[in-house]
Amino acid sequence: MAATLLIRIASVISLVFTAGHSLGGLQGWSPMGENDVLKEMRAVRFDTMGANRSYLDFFLGFGWSISVAMLLQTMLLWQLAALAQPNAARVRPMIAVFALATLASGVIAWRFVFPVPALFSGALVFVLSAAYWVAR
């Protein structure tokens, strides 16, 4: 299987991952539903750098920022596949960077978040590692 195809597969996995992450943010912050912690996150507000925000505002903002970064990853992987077409070996360092960053994100997700994002990260690392191997 060509490195170009593997990188495109990684881009599609990343797109599905991004969509899932973003759709989860539309349901509200807590996958467990309304609870005391979520109520307090809404209630505790503070002024910072000229804006009044709650803890929930910060968490939602961080989540949407992650969605933007994930979409950037998706688009860069798609473009990287086109660059790999004439000479796959020259994009190996970039494939390695994506794979290592995704591995780190997966470990963080496994340890601090929950298994689904870690499984998506694992699938991405697997496909990117295969692309790296094939792109010799």
pLDDT for res 35: 86
- What is the residue-level pLDDT of the chain in tens, covering all 136 positions? 799 999 999 999 999 999 999 998 786 666 677 889 889 999 999 999 999 999 999 988 999 999 999 999 999 999 999 999 999 999 999 999 999 999 999 999 999 998 999 999 999 999 999 999 999 9
Round to whole Å and give the CA distance between 118 and 115.
5
pLDDT of residue 86: 93
Return the exposure string of 112-128: e unless at least 16 CB atoms fall within 10 Å of the residue's CB, then b.
Answer: eeeeebbebbbbbbebb
**Residue 32: its pLDDT value, please?**
74
What's the maximum distance between 2 C-alpha atoms anywhere in the chain?
Answer: 56
For residue 25, what pLDDT is reported?
79
- Report helix, strand or coil for 49: coil
pLDDT of residue 19: 96
